[in-house]
Structure 1
């Protein structure tokens, strides 16, 4: 096959993929998108996916380099310590780490794929299984798979970190997801979303910066309309806003364990631009909060 034919095949494949995604978007979100002149939140996510220009996307999407970045910009005290970083790991080494440090988490650094919770009660066969599974993740170019090009610039590695111990009464680790939009005047507009009951009766609620409930849902029903202000909430806001400063929009995930704050991750295309809102008007409303160029 000559070069011209190869190029034509590549273009056709990309066109077919884009057409399939557009069809999926319309079926899932119930409106016809305009990805070249974006107005809604989802449209702007897709515009960013098509034309990313901020060089920090790759660094801050990497689960290893993001920790280094946050330690430099905020403090190493909010970073969950890595117990191992490498291109591969043996079941025996993983077993050794878990026996020494207790419950751990194994994950790849270059995607938003599955993570593996490990306990000192696990057998060696379990460690063999997860080592094999995570090694398969390292073979996949997640940037191409998700059409989020910044992931393709991350060198695939794996990491093991200490598992955080939840303080919630139901035994779950509450993840505070701050959607931060940088305004044209330099100020920050912040929305917070929290997932409740993951796995069983999963719900998701959105709140404004002052923790007032917002009357819409995204992907899951919004059932919880009031939450208590967590300890050191103002510090969480400070962290989210400072990390968001170089971007027109980013979602910053933080954990709060009885007032002790830990960085989770930064996400630049939540839901990969296909999150289903309960009504179109709130997709459009969130798009209006995103005032600056989505490419950055």
Structure 2
């Protein structure tokens, strides 16, 4: 046990009200707080300033506004990693989905013997917790994987950032094919920032597990001078690898992003390119739950200005 480390944490807990709120929130002490009050308090803790719901200006402020007032039932389907498959099939085509291996309600229902040597297991209602990326089944600790999946299923992902579309997603486990590209070691994420059906910027994330870099490009594939969206405690990576080149399927990604973001004030549409073909990743309404940062910070305002909020607030 690191006594000094725990002593510092206790001291910070007692002296820093923002740190204390975030710690208590993680323990579930504010689960019954209204979405509006919770978001106001968390925004102040994370961003260091008050949240203005009446006159939101920045990208982050407007995402919080959309959490409260832009609530359409189809958003719940769109964030469900299982149900969204049918949605994507109908919108752009089944051929752009990563192949599904299976779906289960309980980790004990999974027949690991029947799974291929490589696969990905994940919960359909959250982001990361419980995920298993298996590259060699012979080395898999099945008991550990099941325990992690149970932790994932138990997570109420909505409560962390009050991202309400996740609140009523029926929780399941899905297995997808492990996808590999012949030319890159790790798949790149191509994340299109779309404003009411118009993709404006593509965020490219490379080398997540080694030396992560974040790049933004416009729709003419011109490299931009800003970067983001990272949580405040996570620094941006320096470029030690070449800037990503234009993906072969870029035009198809852009076309599909337009279709999937139509009539939505803001949504991020994610794709992969695998061996020259586009595959759908996910739809994200609130990147970093609206608590991320851009560098330089002026882009928080520039991107915020691109979000045109609906005239009617529907609670």
Alpha-carbon distance in structure 2 between the residues aligned to 1:81 and 1:133: 23
2:250 corresponds to: 233
In the alignment, which residue of structure 1 is the partner of 2:216?
A: 206
Higher relative contact order (CA 8 A, sep 6+): 1
> CA shift at 1:17, angstroms?
3.9
1:45 and 1:10, CA in 2 relative to 1: closer, same or farther beyond 3 A?
closer
Q: Is the CA contact 1:39–1:288 (under 8 Å) kept in the aligned structure 2?
A: yes
User: TM-score scaled to structure 1, two decimals?
Assistant: 0.84
Are 1:264 and 2:278 counterparts? Answer: no
Equivalence for 1:84: 102
Tell me how far 1:96 sits from its aligned partner: 2.2
SS in 2 for 1:198: coil
RMSD of aligned C-alpha atoms?
2.5
Q: Which moved more, 1:173-182 or 1:131-140?
A: 131-140
Residue correspondences, number = 276
Q: TM-score w.r.t. structure 2 length? A: 0.80
1:162 paired to 2:162: no
The whole-number CA distance in structure 2 between the counterparts of 1:212 and 1:289 is: 19
SS state at 1:77 partner: helix
User: How far apart in 2 are the matches of 1:39 and 1:71?
Assistant: 36
- Aligned match of 2:5: none
Task: Report which stretch shifted further, 215-224 or 110-119.
Answer: 215-224
Select which of 291, 302, 308 maps to 1:274.
Answer: 291
SS of equivalent residue, structure 1 residue 214: coil
Partners of 2:199 and 2:257 within 8 A in 1: no
Given that 1:52 and 1:149 are in contact with CA atoms closer than 8 Å, whether structure 2 keeps it comes out as no
Alignment partner, residue 202 of structure 2: 192
Change (3 A) 1:48 1:292: closer
Distance of aligned partners of 1:10 and 1:167 in 2 relative to their CA distance in 1, 3 Å threshold = closer
Mapped to 2, the partners of 1:111 and 1:121 lie a distance apart of 24
Match of 1:5 in 2: none
Q: State the partner residue of 2:159.
A: 144
Structure 2 residue aligned with 1:64, among 82, 90, 113? 82
- Residue deviations 1:61-111 (CA, integer Å, cap 9, x gap): 00001111001111110011211111013386123213xxx3100000011
Which residue in 2 is equivalent to 1:6? none
Q: Does 1:73 align with 2:91?
A: yes
Q: Report the equivalent of 1:108.
A: 123
User: Which residue of 241, 251, 262 corresponds with 2:268?
Assistant: 251
- Larger CA deviation: 214-223 vs 9-18: 9-18
Distance 1:55 1:215, change over 3 A: same
Instruction: Say whether residues 1:119 and 2:132 are aligned partners.
Output: no
For residue 201 of structure 1, report the CA deviation from its aligned partner: 2.6
Residues 70-79 or 111-120, more deviating: 111-120
CA deviations 1:192-226 (Å, max 9, x no partner) are 00112213332201111111111112132463784
CA distance in 2, matches of 1:47, 1:12: 17
Output one character per residue of 1:140-196: Cα deviation in whole Å (capped at 9) or x when no partner: 221123311110111001100101112334x111111111112xxxx6142100112
* Among 174, 181, 203, the residue aligned to 2:188: 174
C-alpha separation in 1, matches of 2:209 and 2:162: 27
1:21 is aligned to 2:42 = yes
Shift of 1:21: 0.6
Which consecutive unaligned segments of at least 5 residues does structure 1 have? Answer: 1-8
Deviation track 1:232-288 (CA, whole Å, cap 9, x = no partner) reads 211111111101113111101101112211111000111101111113311000011
Residue number in structure 1 paired with 2:21:
none
